[in-house]
Structure 1
Amino acid sequence: MSTIRYPESNDLRTLVKFCENDGTIWLGESRMILMHTAALGTLRRELMDSVGQAQTRRILTRMGYASGVRDAELAKRIRAHQSLQDAFFTGPQLHMLEGIVRVTPVNLKMDIETGSFEGEFLWENSWEQDVHMKEFGRSSEPVCWSQIGYASGYTSAFVGKFILFKEVECVACGDNHCRIVGKPLEEWEDAEEHASYFQSDPMLNHLMELRTQVEYLRTTITQNVQTPQLVGISNGFKQAQELVSKASRTSVTVLLLGETGVGKERFARALHQESSRRQGPFVAINCAALPHDLIESELFGVEKGAFTGAQSSRMGKFERADGGTLFLDEIGELPLAAQAKLLRVLQEGEIERLGDDRTRKVNIRLVAATNVDLANAVKEGRFRSDLYYRLNVYPVTIPPLRERVADIQPLVEAMLGRFSTLHEKRLLGVTDKTLQAMKGYPWPGNVRELENMIERGVILAPQGGWIELEHLFTHVSEAKSWESAISASGSLEQGKAKKCSSSLLDSIISSGMSLEQLEEELLTEAVKRSDGNLAGAARVLGITRPQLQYRLKRNTP
């Protein structure tokens, strides 16, 4: 029996959280699942029948290797200040905590600086040999393929050098237990044979390359190339993208509708790049950012001496965009005088500079955008009805990010690649818990807020590490309130929580408080604990900020 002892595992147990309300299980920042071993056995058989034993072993080994690498990253974080041996034992202990196998250390010698490693472990209650024997019976060779992949991946990532584990004894082969031995790859005589199972199949790689080439040729032939600036897979995004694509083949004036930050300018640029005007200029102007007395001169140009300070003639945005596309953002902020001139440009295709009495022909494609209700602005007299009808020929509504949850992950991946290059940072990505939290966040600032948050995360995350919740917020209180909204409804000790819940209900009922009083107290306390941050309070309560505001107003006398 081994004399090597594991450290206490309480620090690992507290990492496991069950969020039954969200349908998630967490191990630290990584999302986990519980599965029937019978289902995994069925998958094993399906793989064996379809791709054969060698390829099945390769797939399962690589899957285990990836899992081991993730657990090694976790081990370095949570036991960074413990002894080297205790830190390393995080992997075997996690393997047991995850229900994979019981691991008993027999021998362990390692030196991180020199990359030397020698380890021997006994395995008992291996789920993998159990399901293999149920599906296929006794085997002539060891069958714990994913577990060997895990041990090799975990140790390689921990030591910083490829450590190959081999299963030298296996219960499926008639042995009393499974035994594994690990050492650097070059120290194994049959290293090349076993290392091949950790590599992707060359034939599959070749097929993937051919598939990529076919897709590229098909895309080139159909000329249906997605504009690089637009990233998304949700139905709402695809619908808006399709409308823009259809409009690009015409000269129709397009009105982009949507909340601030949804990416209206990106859609406008995509429209320009897909149109026949792509060789011409793309000129963008934010109407809300210009003083009202300068808007006309900015749009239509000015002649020398037209007003005090006009010491020379200059072109306006319309002339600069001649032959291309003019994008007018926040068009609802245009003053009525400028609206009248804009309508004439759209109808006649000509402009007059300020202080000039001659007209100039312009050939532009107008794309307008707004986040206000123009129809309501017309009723209130803030926007000309004739201009509204002229602009509203081809409206395209871009949904807010909270309605495009499927787009969050591809957007995050694209932004990570861009900002990692910009800031010369090598990162592993965003943790599972952080991504899950992003999908539940209401994103009042839409894609622009996500972009700013990811850039901040790239800057704050450690080199070679993961972006976690704490890296996405400037205030610790915000991070904690957001994390509590998506955190576990309990951990391995949920029995206590249920008892607390029961006693809480008894206290509320016996207090005699009305439902309205209870709601008012709960809302007030949530806002107080979030330091007046309504978004944070809403996340704590599990509702959206508009819902919180509505309830606060309803309860205000």
Structure 2
Amino acid sequence: MSWSMAPDFQLTDINDLTEQIRFQSKEGKIWFGEQRMLLMQVSAMAAFRRELVNSIGLERAKGFFLRLGYQSGLRDAELARKLRPDAHDFDTFWAGPQLHSLKGMVKVVPIEIVIDQETRSFHGELEWFDSWEVEVVKKEFGQLDEPACWSLLGYACAFSSSFMRREIIFREVSCRGCGDERCLIVGKPAEEWEDGIEFAKYFTAEPIIEELYSLQSQVQSLRTSLERQQGQYYGIGQSAAYKEACAKIDKAAQGKVSVLILGETGVGKEVIARSVHLRSQRADKTFVAVNCAAIPQDLIEAELFGVEKGAYTGATQGRPGRFERANGGTIFLDEVIELTPRAQATLLRVLQEGELERVGGTQTHQVCVRIIAATNESLEQAVNEGRFRADLYYRLSVFPVHIPPLRERLEDLPLLVEHFLNKFHNDYSKRTLGLSDKAWGYLNSYAWPGNIRELENVIERGVILTDSNETISLESLFPTPMLEAQNTDEEHIYSDGQVIKPGDKPSHNWIDTVFNQNIGLDAVEEQLIQRALREANNNVAGAARLLGLSRPAFAYRLKKLEEKQTR
């Protein structure tokens, strides 16, 4: 008889399954029917999966989890037949998805299911929601290049095969773990799949010891190759947007072309610049990084291009500038938009002629320097506003590369968090158990206005506040007032744990509130800076204008705030 699931088909409820659960705390056992169960944290399974992938490789780990799910599916199919011996075929079959949901593995929604026990024909299309394996992959790996729900797939194959008494294979045709919008699975008899035989090999365990011996001869050459690549990487990330930017800039690394790195504050522009230098033919020469916004404008020429004795009051001796010190190597000009008109003219001469004159001097100095510039503002807009030379802009922007903000590459969070955890575990001589699930959920929903620099500060704070062998809580990562501010539509000014909601007392002068509640000036300034950055979409110059400050003055206050947060 053939059964097709209609949208209004009423399935047996889950009560007969939930009644099978028994907790025997005195014996330390949990039972589901006659099966002894384990209650484990998803984070523990995530760590186990990561170690397995690192130990035996992705393909073998995939086979292991497919077989793990397969064994579970076989036992649940047996239980379903016992609990629903006289039920419709659909009700008996649907016990499998219901058990999956009951165990917290995944929520299953049917799209189309056709079952004919007489001819033993089968076809199923289902959608998975909130897969535990997708959650693990996003947390531990960021994103895979193939579907990630391995144990769930093994379970579906085993349960369906046992139910139909023939080999049924389910395949994941789309998966959120590899960047798709949803998780969809399709199941049909093995012979109807072109690669059915090949896929079935995953369900056969294979020893790996013989392969280990054959790989030993390759270890030394691989180690040598890796040593050559030490330090020559573009930060940390596997997201499509970040890999695209790295692939683009890699094409320019070996040449002499000037590179313009664009991106918001804190995205890691200097890391990218250093990587370009390390991958260039100048890797054994000097790399000099200059933050143009941090140098007073009346001193910026002397700092960059040098100064001769007596050029101005206080210049008691001549000294070379950053360009001369970087001769033969690379100079990184961060916030290049802050250069004065005179400094822009001198920089243009360096780019065109490879020569400069120190401030107050007449002698020409030859320099051979590769220039990597960076800014979080639009140089093109600055040219239109008359703040930046058009000819210099065209020279610098020969090879522009945009580095995406952290909020556009959240799949890289697991790698970045792991990197910073390892760093601060070593710095503070402790080892935590990583982030709690609640903390991970918040990190993935947070806007990250400070990008990777903010993430680094957040993780450091969490490691400092968490004892060894304990999980880092959400409250350890973010101060309570910040969490409260994130969960409300109103802005807050806080100090020493106190929170002010400006709308609470509309008749009360906010200045009186500041004084009455002993809120410090530093706290007020911090909130103003953060609000201005949000209003200006992290554009430093725009935020400065909102507060009536010059850009260097705002940048100075922002730097002080960032230094304070790292202490």
What is the aligned counterpart of 2:241 among 211, 228, 236?
A: 236
Structure 1, unpaired ranges of 5+ = 8-25, 34-46, 62-96, 101-127, 138-200, 485-521, 535-543, 550-557
State the match for 1:313 in structure 2.
318
Structure 2: how far apart are the matches of 1:371 and 1:240? 16
Deviations 1:326-346 (A, max 9, x none): 000000011111101110110
> Are the aligned partners of 2:485 and 2:491 in contact in 1 as well (CA < 8 Å)?
no
Distance in 2, matches of 1:400 and 1:212, equals 41
Of 298, 303, 315 in structure 1, the residue corresponding to residue 308 of structure 2 is: 303
The reply on whether 1:366 has 2:371 as its aligned counterpart is: yes
Task: State the partner residue of 1:357.
Answer: 362
Alignment of 1:189-208 (within 5 A): 203-204=207-208, 207=211
| Pairing of 1:528-543 with structure 2 (within 5 A) | 531-532=500-501
Q: Which amino acid aligns with 2:455?
A: L
Opposite residue 276 of structure 2, the aligned amino acid is L
Question: For the Cα contact (< 8 Å) 1:402–1:446, is it kept in 2?
Answer: yes
**Contact residue 283 and residue 327 of structure 1 kept, 8 A:** yes
Match of 2:331 among 326, 330, 341: 326
Query: What letter matches 2:458 in structure 1?
Result: M
Tell me the residue number matched to 2:417.
412
- Is 1:378 aligned to residue 383 of structure 2? yes
**Equivalent position amino acid for 1:399 in 2:** P
Kept in 2: contact 1:472–1:479 (CA 8 A): no
**Aligned with residue 436 of structure 2, among 431, 434, 443:** 431
Could you list the per-position Cα deviations for residues 492-547 of structure 1 after superposition, in whole angstroms to 9, with x for gaps in the alignment? xxxxxxxxxxxxxxxxxxxxxxxxxxxxxx9459999974599xxxxxxxxx9669
The alpha-carbon distance between structure 1 residues 348 and 441, as it changes in their structure 2 partners (threshold 3 A), is same
Per-residue deviation, 1:229: 5.9
- Deviations, residues 235-272 of structure 1 (Å, cap 9, x unaligned): 11111111221111100000000000000000000000
- For residues 429 and 212 of structure 1, the distance between their equivalents in structure 2, rounded to whole angstroms, comes to 33
Q: Distance in 2 between matches of 1:205 and 1:545?
A: 56
What residue number does 1:252 align with?
257
Assess if the C-alpha contact under 8 Å between 1:31 and 1:433 holds in 2: no
Query: Aligned with 2:313: secondary structure?
Result: coil
Number of aligned pairs? Answer: 340
Contact kept? 2:261, 2:402, Cα under 8 Å: yes
CA distance in 2, matches of 1:134, 1:406: 33
| Counterpart in the other structure of 1:477 | 481
Distance (Å, rounded) in 1 between the aligned partners of 2:411 and 2:220: 24
1:288 aligns with 2:311: no
Unaligned runs of 5+ in 2: 1-22, 27-38, 47-59, 73-101, 106-153, 164-204, 504-532, 539-567
> 2:265, 2:447 → 1: CA distance?
14
In 2, Cα distance between the equivalents of 1:30 and 1:533? 40
Does the 8 Å CA contact 1:229/1:270 hold for their aligned counterparts?
A: yes
- 1:219/1:6 Cα in 2 relative to 1: closer, same or farther (>3 Å)? closer
SS of 1:351's equivalent in the other structure is strand
Q: In angstroms, what is the RMSD of aligned CA positions?
A: 4.6
Match of 1:263 in 2: 268
Distance 1:212 1:237 in 2: 34
Question: Partner of 1:399 in structure 2?
Answer: 404
Distance 1:526 1:295, change over 3 A: closer
Q: What SS does the aligned partner of 1:256 have?
A: strand
SS at match of 1:255: strand
Instruction: Tell me the secondary structure at the aligned position of residue 289 of structure 2.
Output: strand
What are the equivalent positions in structure 2 for 1:488-527 lying under 5 Å apart? 523=489
Deviation, 1:218, is: 6.7
2-structure distance, mates of 1:6, 1:321: 69
Judge conservation of contact 1:409–1:435 (CA < 8 Å) in 2.
no
Aligned partner of residue 396 in structure 1, secondary structure? strand
**What SS is found at the alignment partner of 2:404?**
coil
Cα distance change, pair 347–206 in 1 and its aligned pair in 2 (3 A):
farther
1:478/1:530 contact within 8 Å kept:
no
**Is the contact between residue 254 and residue 396 of structure 1 (CA under 8 Å) also seen in structure 2?**
yes
Counterparts of 2:534 and 2:286, CA distance in 1: 41
Instruction: Give the 3 Å change call, closer, same or farther, for CA 219–388 of structure 1 in structure 2.
Output: farther
The structure showing larger relative contact order (alpha-carbon pairs under 8 Å, at least 6 residues apart) is 1
User: Which one-letter code corresponds to 1:348 in the other structure?
Assistant: E
**2:268/2:452 contact within 8 Å kept:** yes
The one-letter amino acid of 1:467's match is: I
Percent identity, aligned pairs only? 44
The one-letter amino acid paired with 1:473 is F
Alpha-carbon distance change, 462 to 258 in structure 1, aligned in 2, over 3 angstroms: same
In the alignment, residue 258 of structure 1 is paired with which amino acid? G
Which secondary structure state, in structure 2, belongs to the residue aligned with residue 466 of structure 1? coil
- Cα deviation, 1:112-162, whole Å, max 9, x if unaligned, reads xxxxxxxxxxxxxxxx99x9999789xxxxxxxxxxxxxxxxxxxxxxxxx
| Structure 1 residues 344 and 532: CA distance shift in structure 2, 3 A | farther
With the length of structure 2 as denominator, give the TM-score of the two structures.
Answer: 0.52
Amino acid across the alignment from 2:428: H
| Correspondence for 2:469 among 461, 464, 471 | 464
- Cα distance in 1 for partners of 2:253, 2:458 equals 32
Superposition misfits of 4+ residues, deviation over 2 angstroms: 4-7, 26-33, 55-61, 97-100, 131-137, 201-229, 477-482, 522-534, 544-549
**Which residue of structure 2 aligns with residue 338 of structure 1?**
343
Change (3 A) 1:331 1:526: closer
Residue 204 and residue 462 in structure 1: after superposition, are their counterparts in 2 closer, same or farther (change >3 A)? farther
How far off is 1:314 after superposition? 0.7
Measured at CA, do residues 135 and 459 of structure 1 come closer, stay the same or move farther in structure 2, by a change above 3 Å? Answer: same
Letter in 2 for 1:452: N
- The Cα shift of 1:405 comes to 1.1
Please give the per-residue CA displacement for 1:163-217, whole angstroms capped at 9, x wherever unaligned: xxxxxxxxxxxxxxxxxxxxxxxxxxxxxxxxxxxxxx99547747966985985
Instruction: Determine helix, strand or coil for the equivalent of 2:298.
Output: helix
| Alpha-carbon separation, structure 2, partners of 1:531 and 1:358 | 61
Q: Distance in 2 between matches of 1:548 and 1:352?
A: 39
Q: Secondary structure of the equivalent of 1:245? A: helix
AA of the residue aligned to 2:482: E
Cα offset for 1:277? 0.1
